[in-house]
């Protein structure tokens, strides 16, 4: 890679900066809006229930999405290693993470009433296809964002895109609720999935308007087996990145209690089920507001700092639930959880792009996703087992300790990559 090639890329980035910032922000915003209409945590579980599915089928949702998201990332990184432009690959493959929801919507009208069991398994299979495609795409997409955005603007891009997406998501959640209330099954879900497809289509349109410079990078001609065997060498050679992965794994395990915030708070403070909606409002409001703030903060002060704040927010939320005696501590826990979500959604992505040299950036992204993913998948399962055997407070305490160790590693051992590279 020649210096003149990098200079040409820098000139290209400067020339199309405003255009790329706008269209990629709108891509993220409408993608977030679309995902609200089929939300895998709210809308989709209700669809499964209406199709006659059990709690096992509902539990399969996070399992297949986490597995689909984590496993293929390292393969996706290999697929794009020699591509001078990642955008063409993204535009082609991203159809696979958008089209499944349109197919689900259309099939609901055709077979949901006549064969609900078949519709159930087709829906789960299509969700897995969407997650699998997203996992393949993630290294390419994050590398593409890193290429077209200066390092000091990436956090701001994520903040604006996902922040607007949060606002649109709140609007979409009200529309989805009206669909589910007004129309009979399966038309209520049909309108949700069609609305999702429209938003995802707008997202696709905006990312297709982006501009990416060509950059040819050196890449070893290794077989897939040789490539996978070479990955541990990266961890051995880059101690700072390895410590980052360790900190993220411990914080992922420390997140085991997040899914039990609502159930515990309702029970511990003798609240009615309707308070779940109030908790959601605190969570979404906090996440949306903080999303607009944490990205620019990371661009100025460093994204390691923001990610550390995110882990600290998780710790404060746990502390409030463990020690709290009034519903106020539950509200604060959800506010802190919103901050945690926003930091990982913005600085979690931006920081990862700063660890790797340009030619290895997709590999670093894929390696991180593949290594952390299994722990994110198993954490809530472990949390559920511990809650059943030891009680919620004991489970929260164990999660607190794990997250605290991850916090210490991130703060004291991981070095800010923009200063070390």
pLDDT at 397: 96
d(CA 372, CA 378): 10
pLDDT at 3: 58
d(CA 61, CA 54): 12
- pTM here is 0.86
- H helix intervals, 16-94: 17-37, 43-50, 55-70, 73-79, 87-93
What are the DSSP calls for 289-353, one per residue? Answer: HHHHHHHHHHHHH-HHHHHHHHHHHHHHHHHHHHH--SHHHHHHHHHHHHHHHHHHHHHHHHHHH
For the chain, 421 residues long, give each residue's pLDDT as a single digit of tens: 555 677 888 899 999 999 999 999 999 999 999 998 988 877 888 898 889 987 678 767 777 887 788 778 888 888 887 888 999 999 999 999 999 999 999 999 999 999 999 999 999 999 999 999 999 999 999 999 999 999 889 999 999 999 999 899 888 888 988 898 899 999 999 999 999 999 999 999 999 999 999 887 666 666 666 777 778 888 999 999 999 999 999 999 999 988 888 888 888 888 886 677 688 778 888 998 999 999 999 999 999 999 999 999 999 999 999 998 888 999 999 999 999 999 998 998 889 889 888 878 888 888 988 899 889 888 888 888 898 899 999 999 999 999 999 999 999 999 998 877 6
Paired tokens of 212: 């990416």
pLDDT at 218: 63
The residue ranges of every structural domain in the chain are 3-208, 224-420
Helix axes 17-37, 116-148, angle to 10 degrees: 160
Torsion, Cα of 10, 13, 18, 22 (10° steps): -140
Q: What is the largest CA-CA distance in the chain?
A: 66
pLDDT at 63: 74
337 within 8 A of 261, measured Cβ to Cβ: yes
What are the DSSP calls for 179-216, one per residue? Answer: HHHHSPTTHHHHHHHHHHHHHHHHHHHHHHT-------
Alpha carbon 277 to its chain's center: 22
Helix axes 187-208, 154-182, angle to 10 degrees: 160
- CATH architecture, domain 3-208: Up-down Bundle (1.20)
Are both 3-208 and 224-420 of the same fold?
A: yes
142 within 8 A of 349, measured Cβ to Cβ: yes
Check if CATH label 3.40.640.10 holds for domain 224-420.
no
d(CA 123, CA 109): 13
pLDDT at 223: 62
């Amino acid at each position: 890679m020649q210096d003149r090639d990098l200079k040409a890329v820098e000139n290209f980035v400067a020339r199309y900066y405003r255009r790329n910032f706008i269209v990629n922000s709108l891509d993220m915003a409408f993608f977030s809006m679309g995902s609200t209409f089929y939300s895998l945590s709210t809308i989709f579980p209700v669809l499964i229930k209406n199709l006659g599915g059990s709690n096992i089928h509902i539990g399969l949702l996070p399992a297949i999405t986490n597995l689909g998201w984590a496993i293929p990332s390292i393969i996706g990184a290999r697929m794009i290693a020699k591509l001078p432009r990642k955008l063409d690959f993204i535009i082609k493959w991203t159809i696979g993470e958008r089209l499944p929801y349109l197919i689900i919507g259309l099939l609901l009208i055709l077979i949901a009433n006549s064969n609900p069991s078949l519709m159930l398994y087709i829906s789960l299979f299509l969700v897995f296809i969407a997650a699998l495609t997203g996992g393949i795409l993630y290294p390419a997409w994050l590398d593409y964002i890193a290429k077209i955005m200066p390092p000091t603007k990436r956090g701001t891009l994520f903040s604006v895109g996902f922040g607007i997406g949060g606002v649109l998501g709140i609007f979409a959640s009200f529309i989805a609720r009206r669909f589910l209330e007004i129309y009979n099954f399966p038309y209520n879900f049909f309108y949700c999935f069609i609305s999702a497809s429209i938003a995802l289509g707008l997202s696709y349109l905006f990312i297709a308007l982006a501009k990416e410079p060509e950059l040819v990078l050196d890449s070893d001609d290794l077989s897939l087996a040789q490539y996978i065997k070479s990955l541990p060498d990266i961890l051995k050679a880059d101690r700072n990145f390895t410590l980052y992965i360790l900190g993220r794994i411990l914080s992922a395990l420390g997140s085991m209690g997040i899914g039990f915030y609502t159930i515990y708070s309702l029970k511990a403070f003798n609240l009615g089920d309707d308070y779940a909606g109030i908790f959601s409002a605190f969570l979404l409001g906090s996440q949306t507001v903080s999303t607009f703030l944490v990205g620019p903060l990371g661009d100025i002060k460093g994204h390691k700092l923001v990610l550390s704040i995110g882990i600290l927010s998780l710790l404060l939320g746990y502390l409030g639930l463990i020690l709290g005696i009034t519903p106020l501590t539950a509200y604060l826990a959800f506010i802190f959880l919103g901050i945690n979500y926003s930091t990982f959604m913005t600085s979690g992505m931006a920081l990862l792009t700063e660890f790797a040299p340009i030619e290895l950036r997709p590999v670093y992204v894929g390696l991180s996703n593949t290594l952390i993913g299994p722990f994110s998948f198993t954490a809530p399962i472990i949390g559920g087992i511990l809650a059943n055997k030891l009680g919620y407070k004991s489970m929260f305490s164990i999660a607190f300790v794990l997250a605290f160790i991850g916090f210490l590693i991130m703060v004291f051992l991981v070095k800010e990559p923009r200063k070390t590279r």
